[in-house]
Structure 1
Amino acid sequence: MNYDTARKVLIDQAITNLDNPDALLTRMQQGKPPVPGQITSILLALKVAFEALKEATTLDRELTYALYLLSLRTQQLFAIGRKNGIDWPPLFKEDLLRISAACESIFSGTWQNS
């Protein structure tokens, strides 16, 4: 995976629209778990983006918004879902924490191990 592909994956998984009904945030808003392999793809894209951007002094707005949504909005949707009785898959919370740590890594320029 190259940076352009990684960037597209992250934006497509975070910014909800009618073109991608299986975006992670869309699925979570509907109370649905991620599709198989979705979290792995997101984590790989985050690692590729981190490597490409670790020396960057600025980030583009669309990617930054996607990272924000993946790191914070997923946590909010997880908590709301749990409060509403959604039985999320085992280890899903840990996956979301890994996503948040990877997003933080991109912002800081230093890889955060979760």
Structure 2
Amino acid sequence: MDYETARNFLIDQGMALQTQRNPDDLLRRLQDGKAPIPGQLTSILLALKRLFEDVQDRDSLDRPLVLALYLLAIQSQQLFEQGVRSRVGWPPLLKEDLQRVAKGVESIFSGVWKN
């Protein structure tokens, strides 16, 4: 995956609730009480790592990317917790995967990869 593909993929995933383009984007699925598509979080994590590798030495990031990353990190966990309160039967490792997404976003913002 190249930088531009990773960037566009993450923007699409993070802006899902604003654009309403794809009903299978992560945030839309979580909002609907549905588990991510198999491999979806893996793809997001790989895109985050690829993006990190390309931007770790940059002093600034573009606004659409920053907003999408922020929404992916924050809204995914909020929607997960909302689902827990609504008794959605989430997959067993979803919470940990969403925490990994947040760590990946934090890594991009800080310039230091967090395991």
Fold shared per TM-score above 0.5:
yes
CA distance, structure 2, for counterparts of residue 62 and residue 18 of structure 1: 16
CA distance, structure 1, for counterparts of residue 65 and residue 47 of structure 2: 12
1:109 corresponds to 2:108: no
CA distance, structure 1, for counterparts of residue 65 and residue 75 of structure 2: 15
Structure 1 vs Structure 2 CA RMSD = 0.7
Q: Which residue does the alignment assign to 1:57?
A: 59
Q: Which residue does the alignment assign to 2:2?
A: 2
Q: Which residue does the alignment assign to 1:42?
A: 44
Q: Give 1:20 shift.
A: 1.0
What is the aligned length? 113
CA distance, structure 1, for counterparts of residue 28 and residue 48 of structure 2: 19
Q: Give 1:90 shift.
A: 1.0
Equivalent runs, 1:86-97 vs 2, <5 Å: 86-97=88-99
Q: Which residue does the alignment assign to 1:82?
A: 84
Q: Give 1:19 shift.
A: 2.1
Q: Which residue does the alignment assign to 2:34?
A: 32
Q: Gaps spanning 5+ residues in structure 2: where?
A: none
CA distance, structure 1, for counterparts of residue 21 and residue 95 of structure 2: 26
Deviations 1:10-54 (A, max 9, x none): 011111233211000011111111001100100000000000000
Identity of aligned residues (%): 56
- 2:22 aligned to 16, 20, 42, which one? 20
CA distance, structure 1, for counterparts of residue 75 and residue 65 of structure 2: 15
Say which is worse superposed, 16-25 or 77-86, in terms of deviation: 16-25
Secondary structure in 2 matching 1:34:
coil
> Normalising by the residue count of structure 2, what TM-score does the alignment of the two structures yield?
0.96
Q: Gaps spanning 5+ residues in structure 1: where?
A: none
